[in-house]
Chains A and B, each alone.
Chain A
Amino acid sequence: MTPLIRTYTLWLLGVSLALTACGERGDGDDVISVQPVAPICDFPAPGPRPEVALPEVTNTGEYTLELERWGVSATGVDPQATTDGLQDALDWAAEQGIGLFRVPAGEYLIGEEGTYNYRAGIVIPSNMVFELDANATIRMDTNDKWNYCVLTVDGGQDVVIRGGHIVGERDTHIYTDGGAHDEGHAICVSGNSERVLIENTELREVTGDGVLIVGSGDAGNSCFDITIRNSEIHHNRRQGVSIVGGVRVLIENNDIHHISGTSPQFGVDVESLSFRSADILITGNRFNQNQGGDLVNTDGTNLWFEDNDCDQTGLAERQSDGPIVHWGKSDQVVRGNTITITVGSSNGQWGLIGYSGDDPDREGRGTRSGNLQPNYFEDNMFIGGGLHMARTGHFVVRNNVIQDGTMLGYNIDCVRIQDNDVTRETETYKFRYVAGESSGNVKNGGPVEFLMADDSPYTNSPPSQW
């Protein structure tokens, strides 16, 4: 995974430099100008709201882990024996057609030597519900490995992980040989797994991610139909959830908070490397005090971020990027969220910001890195910060309320700014070279009009304010 920390100062410098690109002086007095190209502004509707299939566990047998039979300790000791015993029990259960595998209350310390940089945990078989008692904790033992997965679903189908607590060892981890040591995860879903449900569990204190969803093999591969719901994911070093190749992913009604320690430190991070991420629904979650941000979408398509609460309250330091960040190749619907900005980020007081300086193909074409699908930002409430769009295009921004923040657009085209309500003493709507259409917007309680059109880049504030 590539860390997402981005030196935004450099990006801003790029913006400044780009201002000179509209026209250059030749040797004589004439100004040589690039001929402007009218953008093509089609606005297809958002993609369908993602629907995610749940597991269909067809095995019908039930089994409760017998500690003595398998040599498993429930008192937090003997990780080697506990790991082997629990794995043996699971494998046996799968052979027996067990569909519901129960783990009684207790402290299960696991972990055994895998490879030189991998600490092995437990692999959950297909076609099974792995159900932890509410007072059951599976904890990775202290180690010095860069990688681990407390629980793994690798190439599995129809798996449920439910209940209890999955805990890492970030506070006792041995960070040898330098490096990030950022791949120790609570649950890994890999190998193009299908129909996995994680619910009603706590995932915390790992060196990496609460859940890592990662494709395997050929470029474009993915895991499919992954659901994470009703869980608490917190105090992990790297992420709440990383999606590195996930199609049809539902993240619903979770508390994702206090992600901090090593970059990117987001609640949810979508960046697919060579794999593919699409049709992701993140809804009804509560994000709080995640040091990087709450959502970053670098390349996921048809991502819906809906009815979430993103709250910086309690953060002592600015977030590095967030709360919500999207990159040029991605497309998303960001709708119905409440975004509270207190300390801001390294970029300033922004609740939603696009990183699209990587968008060299956009100019004059009304696309974002060739992606013709618009971004829809609708019905959100921003408190203490605003919405930042720069050097990109194709946005529908409507019916948002911004309290004490700014709606900013710089060098964007094909934008629809409709029925927004911005309240702030200064810099309510701040535009420079913005082409699009606007209507029905409100500024400090009164209607406001902008002289913008798709074919008329528009500026409403002096250069001295940029």
Chain B
Amino acid sequence: MSNSATAAQTRSAWAIAALLGVVCSCDSGTTGPTGPVDVGPSTGGCPDLGGSMTRLPEGFCIDRTEVTRGAYFAWLDTGPTTDGQPAECAANVDFLPTCATTGGWGLDRYLDNPVGCVDWCDARAYCEAHGKRLCGRVGGGANPMDDYNDAAQSEWFATCSAGGENDYVFGVNYVKDRCYESPESGWGTTGVATHPECVSPDGDYAGVYDLGGNVAEWENSCNGVGADARCRIRGGSFKHTANGLRCDAGSTLSLPRHSTDDAVGFRCCTD
């Protein structure tokens, strides 16, 4: 999300930004109560490219974790082109996170934390580049915004709620700090999969981390096809707590397609 037109230029701008130490709202990252869980390789015949995945009873594969800074930066290192983006992303001239290097975040730091400050188009492009899709409708495509809490329609909601059975990723009832939510101290994201209980108790869905908290996640669910459309944000983040971690939370929560926030990242799905 800057004005460089080519991947090489993007990379240069990114490095310059790192040197300049551009400041935004990102504070230093925090660590979770444990080290990151080794989520292992993909299972169920899901691809490994761009992050470990697992296959769910609904038939699709989903990333086990939010896309990390390390994975995202590695992709940027490949020099992805902004050509070929859909019309609604035509104004997206690079994939640089707007706060990739700010607040003391060097390019080599916090690589296990989820990437934030990416807009919907960045997230879409990353997933597409890895042969996946930004999680949306079961079976592919955009999920209508009104279907945000329909486990038969929303890949993200189906995963979080274990097929519609649970209110929170970790069960029916809220348990404070089961996931990485608005902290009592510190600020910012934490490493993915550092909250081992922030998973579904249902074995069929149990291998997917941080669907509540850490960063909220873009969903391929927008209220229009234009560049100015608003797209859904799912799962709450370190800026949310309590109700905000429900699988169906944020019924009115969305951001403009080209907006970024340090508490918003994404994960990918595929068939």
Which residues of chain A have a CB within 8 Å of any CB of chain B?
A: 19, 22-23, 30-31, 33, 35-36, 38, 433, 435, 437, 449, 451-460, 462-464
Contact = CB atoms under 8 A, between A and B. Distances in A.
Contacts of B184: 19, 463
B255 A463 contact: no
B176 interface: yes
28 contacts: A22-B176, A31-B175, A33-B173, A36-B174, A36-B243, A38-B243, A433-B182, A449-B259, A449-B261, A451-B233, A451-B239, A451-B261, A452-B253, A453-B249, A453-B253, A454-B251, A455-B243, A455-B246, A455-B249, A456-B236, A456-B240, A456-B250, A457-B240, A457-B241, A459-B182, A460-B25, A462-B27, A462-B187
Interface string B222-256: 00000000000100110111111010111111011
Interface residues of B, number: 37
B174 A453 contact: no
Contacts of A19: 184
Contacts of A30: 175
Contact of B241 (A459, A460, A464): A459
A455 B244 contact: yes
A458 B186 CA distance: 16
Q: Which 7 residue pairs are nearest across A and B when measured between Cβ atoms?
A: A23-B176, A456-B244, A462-B187, A36-B242, A453-B253, A33-B176, A453-B250
Given A449-B259, A453-B249, A454-B252, A459 B173 contact: no
Contacts of B173: 33, 35
Nearest to B178: A31
Contacts of A38: 243
B183 interface: yes
B264 interface: yes
A75 B186 CA distance: 73
B256 A449 contact: yes
B7 interface: no
Given A451-B233, A463-B187, A22 B178 contact: no
B182 A455 contact: no
B175 A458 contact: no
A31 B244 contact: no
A53 to B, nearest CB: 43
Main SS class of interface, B = loop
A451 B242 contact: no
B236 A35 contact: no
A462 B187 CA distance: 5
B246 A458 contact: no
B221 to A, nearest CB: 14
Contacts of B183: 463
Given A38-B243, A437-B252, 7 more contacts: A449-B261, A451-B263, A455-B249, A457-B240, A463-B183, A463-B185, A463-B186
Contacts of B174: 33, 35-36
Contacts of B202: none
A44 B102 CA distance: 43
Contact of B255 (A451, A455, A456, A464): A451
A33 B240 CA distance: 15
Contacts of A459: 182, 239-241
B239 to A, nearest CB: 5
Contacts of B264: 451
Nearest to A439: B230
A35 B248 CA distance: 15
Nearest to A31: B176
Nearest to B233: A451
Interface in B187-240: 187, 216, 233, 236-237, 239-240
A451 B175 contact: no
Nearest to A433: B241
Contacts of A453: 244, 249-253
A311 B65 CA distance: 54
A116 to B, nearest CB: 58
A19 B183 CA distance: 11
Nearest to A454: B252
A395 to B, nearest CB: 16
Contacts of A451: 216, 233, 237, 239-240, 250, 253, 255, 261, 263-264
A461 to B, nearest CB: 8
A30 B175 CA distance: 9
A17 to B, nearest CB: 13
Contacts of B182: 433, 457, 459
B239 A455 contact: no
B175 A455 contact: no
A455 B148 CA distance: 14
A458 B255 CA distance: 14
A390 to B, nearest CB: 16
A462 B240 CA distance: 12
A435 B243 CA distance: 9
A35 B173 CA distance: 7
A292 B184 CA distance: 35
A187 B132 CA distance: 77
A456 B241 CA distance: 7
Contacts of A31: 175-178
Given A23-B177, A449-B255, A456-B249, A462 B186 contact: yes
A266 to B, nearest CB: 37
A457 to B, nearest CB: 5
A457 B243 CA distance: 7
